[in-house]
Amino acid sequence: MQYLIDFGNSRLKWSIWDGSALLDQGTIDPLALESGLRGLEWPQIDAVYLCSVADPDLTHAVAVYCDSLSSPQCQTIEVDVSQLPAWFSLGTTLPEQIGKDRVMAMLGAFAENTSYCVIDAGTACTIDYVTSGVHLGGYIVPGLALSRSSLTLQTARIGEVADRLYSAKLEPGRNTQQAVEHGIRMSLVAVCQRAIQHAPAALESVVITGGDSQWLSGHLSGPVTVRENLVFEGIRRFSAGL
């Protein structure tokens, strides 16, 4: 069995896999990394694969701690996007110039000889294009939460009532708070829809992941699929070299 870890800027996500079977998963707050990791089950783990966009020193500390918790036979391996499977290429992008989580999401969505778009709707929303296993570039824009925080919404208290303000129709807001909330959501939908319509190659699929994936998918047209564990699927493929 393997632990796959997706360590982002806001939280650490973990999952445990037995071959292709997902057995369990969860999240750990960055402020409680030590206790959170210590509370996981370690005795039967053969390997840990760590995909991190967090601070390198903190990432290394997490890797060392995972080694200390696991058996002597278990190895913690940090994902290195300079050593990708032969069937996937970053094209002209240098490995150090792209987030590892973006690459793992693209690996997770890979299908041979196809053109697809991966949208990761999280704190930031990333949009990437892949054709025949080659990354063609993409976009990064603020996600819903980041957009709210950038509009000084602490004063407007929108962050506290965003769910109650939201209407699926995204009609013009009847007050300042709803107007901002719907404007933020409409902006994200518009960016993603335009990215799909103006892709550098004809798309055969659009795969969405991230915390806002279910909501976003309902507002996009075309062949859209939600895969909530896409980054983990990519790490698993990376670990197997599939």
Which positions are annotated as active-site residues? 101
| 60-65 contacts at long range (C-beta below 8 A, 24 or more positions apart) | 62/5, 62/7, 62/12, 62/33, 62/37, 65/33, 65/34, 65/37
Integer Rg of the chain from CA: 19
The C-alpha atoms of residue 208 and residue 7 are separated, in whole angstroms, by 19
**In sequence order, what DSSP letters do the residues of 130-192 get, joined into one string?**
EETTEEEEEEEEE-HHHHHHHTTHHHHTHHHHHHHH--TT-PPPSSHHHHHHHHHHHHHHHHH
Q: In what order do the strands lie in the sheet with 224-226?
A: 134-142, 124-131, 115-121, 205-209, 224-226
Q: Locate 45 and state its tokens.
A: 């783990």
Name the β-bridge partners of 134.
Answer: 89, 131
The C-alpha atoms of residue 18 and residue 21 are separated, in whole angstroms, by 5
**Is the separation of the CB atoms in 122 and 211 below 8 Å?**
yes
Q: Locate 49 and state its tokens.
A: 């694969």
